[in-house]
Structure 1
Amino acid sequence: MTRNTLRAESGVRYLSDEQRADPLFTNSIARAMQVLAAFHHADRPLSLAEIASRAGVDRSAAQRIVHTLRSLGYIRRDDEDRGFLPGIRLLDHTLDFLRLNPLIQRATPVLLELRRNVRERVDLSLFDGQRVVYAARMQSKRETFYATLVGHSVPTFCSSGGWAIMARLPEPEAREIIEASDRTPFTPRTLTDPDAIITEIGETRARGYSIAVEQILLGEVAIGVAVTGPQGRPVAAIHVAGSLAEWTPEDFSTRVAPLALEAARAISQI
């Protein structure tokens, strides 16, 4: 089985009884966010019943929440009136996250210079447990619509950035991420065996960067380098991706890895 689309995190984030019992926790806000998250895996406009099912709320609650969010501009009817879609006001919050994030501010000029030097796709992804989320994407000459969008994510267990990040974690923590992940392969070459992934992480740790060949996309080779925060813990990764039609993994590593390592050092807080 293979996967060829990259999506946001699944809609409903399950909370512990302790979290829900917190007197500061507001259930109505949580339900509203679950309604917005219902669109994460959607391929088309959603009906009210579909939103209720995906959000884990009853139809009456979904109707009230959708009406409120629609009034505020966070949900809209699609142009052919077939259902509901996210509204334009959500982009205001995306902009806030990107412009106020100090890591992204610090990384952007460094990534632009790296892109000019390597002339291949350069991405910055943020570490979020079992996934890494693209926060900056600088494209090459070979791109698809999905490869241009921030907010997409790939699993930590099989991505070049994920391997680079896990190489900076204690091995028990890395193994916990791997074993908790849905390890459905993206390609026939995607590593899914935990021990094989741990071995790859060890090699990444030894050389300082990862080399992922056709782990997410067929025909792609990617270099990953971790970006660290003030305590030396990995918070993000730089990915540089090229085509196997133009590069061997060895030549790509020789050309790209030193530049990616230099960029990561410039962005990291040491």
Structure 2
Amino acid sequence: MSTHKGKNASPAAEGPLFLQSTARTLRVLEVFAQQPRPLSIAELAAAAGLNKSAGQRIVHTLQAMGYLDRSSEGLVPGKKTLYRAFDFLRMNALVESATPVLHELRKSVNERVDLSLLDGPDIVYVVRLQSKRETFSATLVGRRIPSFCSSGGRAMLAAMPEEEAMRILEASDRTPLTPRTITDIPKIVRKIGEARRQGYATAVEESLLGEIALAAAVLDINQRPVAAIHVAASLSEWTEEGFRQRVSPLVMEAAQALSHSYKRG
């Protein structure tokens, strides 16, 4: 029996209520996060830490239920995976409250506006309102990037107690996403401190070359960060200082408005 565990496995994975069979099935779907291409049964099984027999049974079940499809080049996620993302978004009160706030911000800045949530050491984008030009990955809901090199991640880390933020940094995979990604913890801590003083965080070409991003944290009634609002733009059209001056008050105002709305909800 495989004892493979995902990198984000929680302590509950050791408890008596934890179903290893369910975990193995979900790990098969999670393989595509690290290998975003069509895969064979053998590749899926190996990447999920399963033997060939278990891999075949799980793949067959997921295909039968619509969570895996077979393309001409191999197995890919099925359309049913989109249905579960839709369920998450339509049942999330924060996403519902954020949508009108984000649309108003998008009208004001005329640049891409995103909403992200913190998930372990990463952020995940749950709303993305596009600008006039985008790379493909920047258009997709569900994209994950490490919090340490994201403006939204830094904004949320800045709203936490320092000890908690440090634990997240130390648990992060600090592999650089671009040549400009800051991976040194003392330098990241200084960026988080800057965000704490200013009320917003920035990231310049740290997750995408040519892009500047600025974000502020959305807080719950206990002043805990629950999300971040980002604005991202091209350095071919903005200087860093000009972007900060124009965008930071609008982003902070939007984050504050959503924080108040979320508290009332």
Which TM-score bucket, shorter chain as reference? Answer: over 0.9
Mean Cα displacement is larger for which, 33-42 or 155-164? Answer: 33-42
User: 1:244 corresponds to which letter in structure 2?
Assistant: L
User: 1:235 corresponds to which letter in structure 2?
Assistant: V
Decide which structure has greater helix share: 2
Mapping for residues 17-96 of structure 1, pairs under 5 Å: 19-78=12-71, 80=72, 82-96=73-87
Q: Aligned match of 1:172 in 151, 158, 163?
A: 163
The aligned residue for residue 12 of structure 1 is 6
The aligned residue for residue 212 of structure 2 is 221
Residues 220 and 21 of structure 1: is their aligned pair in 2 closer, same or farther, counting only changes over 3 Å?
closer
Shift of 1:121: 0.6
Q: Tell me which of the two structures has the higher relative contact order, counting C-alpha pairs closer than 8 angstroms and 6 or more residues apart.
A: 1
Q: Aligned match of 1:205 in 196, 208, 212?
A: 196
Q: Aligned match of 2:258 in 241, 245, 267?
A: 267
Mean Cα displacement is larger for which, 39-48 or 218-227? Answer: 39-48
**Sequence identity percentage:** 56
Q: Work out the CA distance in 1 between the residues paired with 2:175 and 2:33.
A: 19
TM-score, normalised relative to structure 2: 0.92
The yes-or-no answer on 1:258 pairing with 2:249 is yes
Q: Work out the CA distance in 1 between the residues paired with 2:9 and 2:33.
A: 18
Task: Assess if the C-alpha contact under 8 Å between 1:122 and 1:238 holds in 2.
Answer: yes
Task: Assess if the C-alpha contact under 8 Å between 2:8 and 2:120 holds in 1.
Answer: no
Secondary structure of the corresponding residue to residue 39 of structure 1: helix
Residues 171 and 21 of structure 1: is their aligned pair in 2 closer, same or farther, counting only changes over 3 Å?
closer
Mean Cα displacement is larger for which, 142-151 or 95-104? Answer: 142-151
Shift of 1:44: 2.0
Mean Cα displacement is larger for which, 87-96 or 173-182? Answer: 173-182
Q: Work out the CA distance in 2 between the residues paired with 1:89 and 1:184.
A: 32
Shift of 1:58: 1.1
Question: Structure 1: which 5+ runs fail to align?
Answer: 1-10
TM-score, normalised relative to structure 1: 0.91
Q: Work out the CA distance in 1 between the residues paired with 2:61 and 2:231.
A: 42
Shift of 1:237: 0.6
* Aligned pairs, number: 257
Q: Which string of whole-angstrom CA distances, capped at 9 and with x for unpartnered residues, describes residues 55-90 of structure 1?
A: 111111111111111111111111x2x321111111
Q: Work out the CA distance in 1 between the residues paired with 2:251 and 2:158.
A: 16
Residues 15 and 142 of structure 1: is their aligned pair in 2 closer, same or farther, counting only changes over 3 Å?
closer
